[in-house]
Chains A and B, each alone.
Chain A
C-alpha cells in the first residue's frame, strides 16, 4: 500500500497557505527540481534540471510561486485513484515512483534525477498543448481530491510521511492583503504553526513585500506584430539572472491555446505562472459559455487578474497574439471573407473550437451556408451582438496595469533595438517569409547589442489555423554568417576598386 500511496506532498519548498488543508511541507528537496508537484504538469515543470530552468527561467523564490489554486496544489497522484488514471498515467506514475522512493528514505535524494518526464514542452509542442488541455479538472474531481487528501491526512500516517502543506486560499480574501506593501501585520486566520515552520517571510503573511534574494534582471527581447498573414511573435531565449545567464535555452513564447500565443517578459516564473492561469481561465470560459474568449477579452482578463499585485515585485509584461476566430456573426451584416462560426448554438465544449478550425480556411462558401442555417438564430443575436471581430489581434498587457491594443509591440531590455529594425520594415503587406526574416533580424540585432538577450531565437506564427513554431535558431551562427558576408563584401569591393 505504501508503494501505491502516491498522495504525498509534492517536493517543494515551504509553501504557505491558509485554507482547507493544514499540511505544511517541512522538507526542501531541491536537487534541481525547482517546483514539482505530483501534478507537476500544472506548472509545466519538467524533472530534468535543464528543462526546468528552461521552463521556469531563473531561480526565483519558490514560495512566491505558489500563488496557485489550492486544489491544484494539493498533491494529487490521488488523481489516479479516482479513475483518472487514463489521463494522468504518464505523469503520476513516474513522479510517484520517485516520491515513494523519497518516502522510504527521505535522506536519499530520490532518483528523480533520471527524469521520467520525457516529453518537455520543447520536444513536442502540439502534444504539450494538447496535454495541457487535460489540466482542467472538473469541479467534482477537485472536490474528491480534496476529500481524499483530508482522509489521508487523518489516516494517521507517520509524521515523516505526512507533509504539512499550507494551501493558499487563492484570493479568498481581499487581494489588498495579498502581496500589497502594507504596514499592518496581515495574519488573520493563519495558524502560528506556519510561521514557525517557515523560515522565509511570504507575501501573504509578512508585512512587507518579499525581499528578493538577488536583483532580478528583466532582460529579454520579445516582439510581435500583425500583418496580412496573421500574427508573428519572436523572442530570444536567454534567461538572465543579474548578470549571469541562468538558461540559454528558455522558452519565452508560451502557447495559451491553439490560437493564442503569449510572449513573456519580466520575471520568467511570474510569466509562466500567469500564462498557465490565463489558459485555465480561458478554458473555463470556453467550457462555461461555449465559445472562445477573444484576444481582447483574454487581455482584459489577464490585466484584471494582475491588478491586485500592482505595486508588488510581480513583473509580467506580455503580448498576447491571437487569431479571433469569428464569433458567431450576426446575419444582419454581410461579411466578405470573414470567418463565420457556425457553432454558436452548440453548447458543447470542443465543437466550437474544432469547428472553427475546420471552417477557418474556407470562408466564402461557409458564409452563405451558415447564414441560411443559422439565420433565425443569428437574427436573435443581431440585436445583442456587437460587431464581432475576426482576424489577427495583438495586445500588450503589463503587470503595472497597461493594456494596449496595437499592431506592433516589442518588450524587454532589447526592445529599443528591435523597434528600430521593425519600424523600418514592417508593413501590412509582408509575406510570411519576409515577416519571419525581419522578426529574426530584429531579435538578432537586439541580442547583439543587449547583454541580457541572446542565444537563440524562437518564431511563432499565428494564423486562422492556429499557431506554428519555427525551429529554434542559434543566433551565433547568424553572427558568423554575417561576418562572412561582410568579409565577402569587403573583398568584392576591394576587387572592384582594384580591378
Chain B
C-alpha cells in the first residue's frame, strides 16, 4: 500500500515516499508526509502499521535529539541506523513489537552519504538503493538495471521518475503524489513533488 524508495549517489542520497494515509479502503489524507527528520542530515522514512509508524519514528527522533543535547554532537547516520535497529530488535520479542519498515538516509562528514534499509524484523543493510512496499516488487529491477554508483542528481531524479511511472502503470493502487527529498553535505533539501499528471 505504501511506498518508499531511496537512491544513493556519490555525495547525496535521494529519497521519496508516497503521500497517502489510508484507512482500509479510504484515503484519509492525500498529503501525508512519511519522512521524519532525525537531525540536520538524517531522514527516517517510516511505513507500516498505523500507530506504530508515528510512535516509533517519533521515539527515535526524540532520542537522537537527546543524544545531541547530552553529548553536544549528532549521531552519524550509521550510528542512528544501528540505534534504530537495536530498538526494533529489542521490541521484536516483546509483547508489543513495532511493525514498521524503515529507510534511513543520511550524510556523514567522514563517511559520506548512506542509505540504510531496515524492516520490521530488525534487519539492517546498507544499500546503494532500496525500496519498501508492494511497489518495491515493481521498481527494484528498474533500479537494478539503471543504477550506477556515479549517478548525477538529475539522473537520479530521472531514475526515480521512471520508477514512479512504472508504479502508475502497473500498480493496482493509486499513488498520486510523492514527496521527494535530497540529502547532501549541506543538509536536507525539499525537491519538487512528483505527481500524477493527466495522461
Contact = CB atoms under 8 A, between A and B. Distances in A.
Interface of A: 176, 180-182, 303, 307, 310-311, 396, 398, 400-404, 406, 409-410, 415-416, 419
A303 B55 CA distance: 10
5 contacts: A176-B94, A176-B96, A401-B49, A402-B28, A415-B26
Q: Place the interface of chain B in its size category.
A: 10 to 19
Contacts of B52: 401
Interface in B44-58: 49-55
A53 B28 CA distance: 31
Given A310-B51, A401-B52, A404-B21, A416 B28 contact: no
Q: Chain A at the B interface: mostly helix, strand, loop or mixed?
A: mixed
A398 B49 CA distance: 12
B58 to A, nearest CB: 9
Interface string B26-63: 10110010000000000000000111111100000000
A409 B26 CA distance: 10
A302 B53 CA distance: 17
Instruction: Report, nearest first, the 9 A-B pairs whose CB atoms are least far apart.
Output: A401-B51, A400-B50, A402-B50, A401-B50, A400-B51, A404-B29, A180-B95, A406-B29, A182-B95
Contacts of B53: 401
B71 interface: no
Interface of B: 21, 23, 25-26, 28-29, 32, 49-55, 94-96
A409 B51 contact: no
Given A176-B96, A398-B50, A410-B26, 4 more contacts: A401-B51, A402-B21, A406-B28, A416-B26
Q: Chain B at the A interface: mostly helix, strand, loop or mixed?
A: mixed
A15 to B, nearest CB: 25
A311 B32 CA distance: 24
B26 A419 contact: yes
A303 B28 contact: no
Contacts of B50: 398, 400-402
Contacts of B26: 410, 415-416, 419
A401 B95 contact: no
Contacts of A310: 51, 96
Contact of B25 (A181, A402, A416): A416
B96 A396 contact: no
A311 B55 CA distance: 14
B54 A403 contact: yes
Contacts of A416: 25-26
Contacts of A176: 94-96
Contacts of A401: 49-55
A246 B52 CA distance: 33
A286 B53 CA distance: 30
B28 A307 contact: no
Nearest to B21: A404
Nearest to A397: B51
A416 B23 CA distance: 11
A416 B25 CA distance: 9
A396 B32 CA distance: 13
Contacts of B54: 401-403
A409 B23 CA distance: 11
